[in-house]
Amino acid sequence: MSTPVALVGIGKIAEDQHLPAIASSDDWHLAATVSRSGSVPDVEGFTGIEEMLATRPDIPVISLCLPPAPRFAYAQAALEAGRHVMLEKPPGATLAEVHTLAAMARERGLTLFASWHSRAACGVAPAREWLADKRITRVHIDWQEDVREWHPGQDWVFEPGGMGVFDPGINALSILTEILPHPVHLTAATLDFPANRATPIAANLRFTGNTTAHFNWLQEGPPTWDIDVETSEGTLHLGKGGSTLSIGGADHPLPRNTEYAGLYARMAECIALGISDVDLAPMVHVADAFTLGQRVEAAEFSF
C-alpha cells in the first residue's frame, strides 16, 4: 500500500521531476499540494503549509521543492507537526539551518532527507566503484548551461540565498563528493558577479588533490555537464550530468536514467529504517567558495 505525500512548491522542478517520480512509484501517492499559484488536477491543494498540516494529519511525509531561502520555515513546521521531510537540493539557504532541522528530526525520531538528485544519475555509482582503489592524478569539472533556459525569469536565483551559478554547480559538487575515494577541500576561487546581481553567474574553483571546476550560467545551446577524473589506470569521464560514463575512452553501459525515482525510493528506505540522510558536503564547498572567493565584477544580467 502506497504512502501519501504532500508536495510543497508546484513550480518547474515539481512539474518536470517530482510529479512524474511520485506518479510512477509504488511507494507513494500524491495526497496534497501546497502552493500560492500552482496546483495538480484532482489533488487537494492548499496555499499555506499550516493549513495543510492541520487539515491532513493522515499525510506523514512532506516533500519540499520550493526555493531554498523560505524552505527552513516550511521544514520546521512539518517536523514540529511530526512529519518526515524530504528536501530538494540545496537543502537550505545556510548550513546552520539544515543542522537545526537535522537535530529536530533526530529529537523527534523523524526522517530528514537532504536529497542530491545528481548523485542518483545512473553513471555515478559505477564511477564511484571504479575509482575506489585508483590513484587519482587530476579532476576537472566543466559545468555550463543557460540560466535563461533553466530558470526563466526566476530572479530569486540571483538574490541572497539563491546561490547563483552554484544552483547548478552544486549538482557537480554533489557528484564529486560522492565518487572520490578521498575528500578534497577548496583552496581558492574567483566568482563573477553581474554588477546588478547579488550572486555569481560564473565561478572557477580550485581544490586540493589537483581538482578544479568551472561553472558558467551564460552558455548558449546544449548544456555541458562533464566531470573528468584522470587516474594512473586511465581517464574516467562522466557526461550529461552523470547519465553517461566512459572509462579509458570506452563507453560503459548504463541503465535508463531515473534520478528522482531513485530519490523517492531512498526516502521510502530511510523511513523504513528509521534514519535520516543529511550529507552537507556539497554545500560546504559552496560556503567555502563564498568565504574564500575573489569577487570579480561582470556585465549586468537581465532575463
Residues 233-260: pLDDT tens digits? 999 999 999 999 999 999 999 998 899 9
Whether residue 12 lies in the annotated active site:
no
Q: Delineate the domains of the chain, giving CATH numbers in brackets.
A: 3-114 (3.40.50.720), 118-253+286-298 (3.30.360.10)
Residues 85-125: pLDDT tens digits? 999 999 999 999 999 999 999 999 999 999 999 999 999 99
* 3-class DSSP string for the chain: CCEEEEEECCCHHHHHHHHHHHHCCCCEEEEEEECCCCCCCCCEEECCHHHHHHHCCCCCEEEECCCCCCHHHHHHHHHHCCCEEEECCCCCCCHHHHHHHHHHHHHHCCCEEECCHHHHCCCHHHHHHHHCCCCEEEEEEEEECEHHHHCCCCHHHHCCCCCCCHHHHHHHHHHHHHHCCCCCCEEEEEEEEECCCCCCCEEEEEECCCEEEEEECECCCCCEEEEEEEECCEEEEEEHHHCEEEECCEECCCCCCCHHHHHHHHHHHHHHHCCCECCCHHHHHHHHHHHHCEEEEECCCCC
Q: Which pLDDT belongs to residue 257?
A: 86
Question: Which among 12, 89, 134, 240 is annotated as catalytic?
Answer: 89
Residues 188-231: pLDDT tens digits? 999 999 999 999 999 999 999 999 999 999 999 999 999 999 99
Residues 30-81: pLDDT tens digits? 999 999 989 999 999 999 999 999 999 999 999 999 999 999 999 999 999 9
Query: Closest Cα partner for 218 from 280, 288, 279, 158?
Result: 158
